Structure 1
């Protein structure tokens, strides 16, 4: 079929001209619509600057279309194009059917460089607008808002052309089925394509409809999920890790060749494997990549945070967008890696990411903005670039000399005559060469970066996409909560709480119902599966850290809602979005494999796995296993495409990781820490909290058939030896179903144990100790099976 489609596309591009017919003085609009457009424009206020080159002498726009009503910065960017844009929805397709017109669908996002180029060249061009307005219904979609729509039409583009990207440009039938798809088109070729497609539509519409139906069938097949189940165990995780390591770039970090993306889900799986299996190869690969990125130009050395990807193998030249979802995932990775090896460079990078988000991507209400653009003053990356003279002008001579050497700054530059700041020499080696300690170098760098940041703030800033996306905010809430806990930064936890409260107040339209976008005080668009799942994960993180049950109750509401709204009763699994009842869509997609962020399916599996450990609702475990079974066949065939889902599989099979965990379906909460008193001695402390009506057996439970509560270090802890254990005095109970008295622990329980260092106290030890806690929890009515928790207890100074 591809050959036929390509033949059709080539035929459409051949011959013809870009001559356009006369543009009506204004698109056909009702007086009511015209009044609403004028009212919406007036409401923007006197400081409003329309994004268009078509202005009246008084600065007012010549053109305004329906996108001015929308809650998406990307759509609002196009609200004053001469193209008579519609947002995605039934109105556009109904008009296309009534008038027998093709639909031109343009999908992009507000910080997309080539989307801006096509806007300037084509959508601001009056002749192209005349062609679109006369013969097409033009529909503009923000891919970050309608991720499900984007997935369907991107699949069509990939089937037709073998590739995809943004802007995604498609010509559809009035029924929403793809005829032609591509990405960026230069204006002359674009006009030619539009005119030829229109001619073919007039000459043989039924032949084109038949072709579109074939494409739609192919899209449906491509998006269909085979329901064949497979057994998934530890072997599939080991295979995914081995295959991922085989693709790792041992010279420069990352996976594969340029362009290089961080691929955070893969790094997460490697770190999880390092933690659970003591896999040194996985740990070294993940840390090597994290350090390579942190020292490259993909990391904003002045302002913190990471750009979206690198255009080269060495992480030097980024595409200068900054996306919230990257910051959330990378902050978690750097914190996790720091917890594993205790390297202060990793903690420093994590703090810089989170400080960037709180400073530059936070709304006054406490939500988090989506992204910043790559372009400013018409040039990509200009905001972030430096010359030696600029550094010398703002820094004192000694700091300027250090900064030029540290950041690899040269007169010729490394990007269009200017310099992307990076660290060509490892900080440890650079500090030694300069006669500084590493701490002294970090202090100098912080002072230099602060001065440069303040100077950079005087420049023209890239555009900032100020929509608050529920899913991405959920990811950021998780990152802030976990980092605040690990790094002992209460302000991070406070920011996570504030954002969670904002979302619950603003995007929760009804119990069990979320909106996807919040902008300018208004929530819009029904939420997708990922919104429920990622926000639910964030609420779980807040529950773990604060212990407040309200967060768990909210997460429970979202888990129940996502299952009722997105479950596929026929094929199993979860759909990306709710069923479309009024707008045509070629298929109802599912988001299975991981990309730049974890898939919605894996996020949902993580939420269900977390709830199954913290709630006595048995449906969570049942739903998790059902969801896993629905994708198990695909996972078995290509495990490296599902790293986040495999990480969730580990949670289901082997439990949680970290210093805080839940047991007994949430009836028991445990926190572990190591208080180091001097280089050779420390105290292990476990704090347990039991719900009313629950108890665990004491260390000596009085009956031989009962499982005692016991603490030990796991076998792979050579640095420490566990000496004296100190259990609290038990409470003696006699329950109705037990004749003999029981020795139990209830309520708040503290267990301590003395630790003695078995290796040289002056040698750096691992910053955490794996601790095994064996317990059995019972209520007045039942006893649960015995459980063994493995906690990673952080070593802190008493």
Structure 2
């Protein structure tokens, strides 16, 4: 057996390097080997922090007998869905077409041409071995039926990926319908939308916050506030160290699926930062600060960039690091403080998780409590965190994904300017440097790097959108023209290489590896759709430069998802968020000043609606179009507030500036 995963950049593939399975990485050579041997292909797709991927690996891929059967009758390909979202998207569409559902691990049997003919997700060992036998028999004895099945699945996948459907320009009425649709699905007891399992609806919350700002809708704000509070008081939020888990297995956010993903926490950092900006809620501010600290402390990598995830499991046991019994609290804190903590965190003898253990939840409001109680709570948190540090810790997937780091840059930049956090501001710039210097190669984005070395997988559309949006956030943070120029270069590639010709976008470039079909999914999933992220950057770039062709491209692309926004807002939250900014203008604010900490700058960030572009710097700063021909009046910092490149008269006081944003 050849160990082909030993030099893989993916931590997920590295997890399988010592399996007795003769794994191949995704490559043309793997499919050529299947053709040479005349055997079907097993494509196994997962990611490093996935609990059930670990279970299937332990049960089947680490088993010598199962491996022997696989090696004899198949070519086995292991794929990290986070490195190759294009491969994942194509075969997930096939899996959903065949089974009506999807998930990871994803298990696909395909012809040597890559055509899937049987798809599923997790299979227990005995079922998996029976399946291997059945597929082998069918391949040998019923080849024509297998090939027909594969052709039918490929046709279904192609149909699901068709572009050029109905379009409708996004209107205020459409966004109102989206907000109403979310209100109708809102869980009025526990927050969120729909039932268990519940995922953090970060993109929908960002939309609702912007909708509130534009329309004054108290209901939209309350939906976001209530959901944000319920999540952050639940077990899905790490009450000791900060950071959110991937999802809750129940409807009340108590027991999470324990992996912590960079993208969730980046998007939720934006939610809680904006929630605090709009409400002044000290609880939202604390969650924002702790989430930012979690990103930098627990996901920072020695070579720069933020790691992708913390694992769901510790030593093969889900939640081992995070759950507590009353006895463990007493051991760590003593009798009196242990009992107090058990009451506060709702740790009971029966437990809320497994084996009598509980996941910590915040049982009552503590942020607004008496200062002595707050001090006691902070002391107990610190002592419990120290005790928890002595436990085995979850593994970390330390690859750096371009789009997810782009999301983090934007979030940290927002948090930095709004809360006056120097660590967040510095981290946003440093992360942008990593993306620009390491992930942009010959003008094109690479998706991943690890240990300072960039990987081979090409960037997909979401990488271009999220990184361009990040560069624009850093341009506004620093007034450095480099970032505006770099964002424009990425957007030019996106428009030239990813466009469908009918306003929308494909998820892969026109010169990317050819798969069964060229994916073009406009819906949000765990992260913003590539289309939505590119639109966000296009709208901001047009506002910062005055180059209207980029705005026209954004409007055309948003029109392709207009019906989706109005009819299925839970799957188009980020597109709706961008559409809110576009409908607002967005505002363009230039502040001519030699002091970027002037109150005029601070109030612009605090009071301007979400999606506003703001640049503060010296008048006529070279390479910064928004500051061109913007003099200071009487030597004082001066703000120019514009919409659609039409400007009000300049103002020099925070009070005058705030008046510009009144509805």
Matched, 1:454 2:367: no
Aligned residue in 2 for 1:54? none
Q: Partners in 1 of 2:230 and 2:30 — Cα distance?
A: 48
Q: How does 1:289-304 map to 2 (within 5 A)?
A: 289-304=227-242
Aligned residue in 2 for 1:282? 220
Tell me, yes or no, if the aligned pair for 1:539 and 1:552 is still in contact at 8 Å: yes
Counterparts in 2 of 1:581 and 1:233: CA distance versus 1, 3 Å:
closer
Scaled by the length of structure 1, the TM-score of the pair is 0.75
Aligned residue in 2 for 1:552? 484
Per-residue deviation, 1:115: 0.5
Matched, 1:358 2:289: no
342, 353, 357: which one pairs with 1:418? 357
Aligned residue in 1 for 2:366? 427
Q: Which has the higher helix share?
A: 2
543, 546, 558: which one pairs with 1:613? 543
Counterparts in 2 of 1:440 and 1:71: CA distance versus 1, 3 Å:
same
Q: Secondary structure at the match of 2:48?
A: coil
Q: Which has the higher strand share?
A: 1
Aligned residue in 2 for 1:562? 494
Matched, 1:445 2:377: yes
Aligned residue in 2 for 1:752? 653
502, 522, 525: which one pairs with 1:595? 525
654, 664, 685: which one pairs with 2:584? 654
Q: Partners in 1 of 2:491 and 2:662 — Cα distance?
A: 26
Larger Cα-atom Rg: 1
389, 393, 396: which one pairs with 1:464? 396
Q: Secondary structure at the match of 2:447?
A: strand
Matched, 1:382 2:310: no
Q: Deviations over 1:359-418 (max 9, x none)?
A: 111112331000011111321101001122222222255543432221112233221211
CA RMSD after TM alignment: 2.8
Q: Partners in 1 of 2:259 and 2:243 — Cα distance?
A: 11
Q: Partners in 2 of 1:357 and 1:395 — Cα distance?
A: 27
Q: Partners in 2 of 1:558 and 1:245 — Cα distance?
A: 36
278, 281, 293: which one pairs with 1:340? 278
Q: Deviations over 1:604-628 (max 9, x none)?
A: 0000000010013333122212322
Counterparts in 2 of 1:286 and 1:199: CA distance versus 1, 3 Å:
same
Q: How does 1:49-448 map to 2 (within 5 A)?
A: 65-395=3-333, 398-416=336-354, 417-427=356-366, 436-437=369-370, 439-448=371-380
Q: Partners in 1 of 2:20 and 2:378 — Cα distance?
A: 48
Tell me, yes or no, if the aligned pair for 1:661 and 1:671 is still in contact at 8 Å: no
Counterparts in 2 of 1:547 and 1:415: CA distance versus 1, 3 Å:
same
Aligned residue in 2 for 1:785? none
Per-residue deviation, 1:351: 0.8
Scaled by the length of structure 2, the TM-score of the pair is 0.90
Q: Partners in 1 of 2:104 and 2:301 — Cα distance?
A: 27
Aligned residue in 1 for 2:453? 522
Aligned residue in 2 for 1:507? 439
Aligned residues: 633
Q: Secondary structure at the match of 2:132?
A: helix
Q: Partners in 2 of 1:349 and 1:753 — Cα distance?
A: 28
Aligned residue in 1 for 2:609? none
Tell me, yes or no, if the aligned pair for 2:214 and 2:580 is still in contact at 8 Å: no
Tell me, yes or no, if the aligned pair for 2:303 and 2:452 is still in contact at 8 Å: no
Matched, 1:496 2:428: yes
Counterparts in 2 of 1:581 and 1:393: CA distance versus 1, 3 Å:
closer
Matched, 1:630 2:568: no
More relative contact order in 1 or in 2 (CA 8 Å, sep 6+)?
2
Aligned residue in 1 for 2:620? 691
Give unmatched runs, 5+ long, in structure 2.
593-597, 605-614, 622-626, 634-638, 643-647
Per-residue deviation, 1:589: 0.6
Q: Secondary structure at the match of 1:691?
A: coil
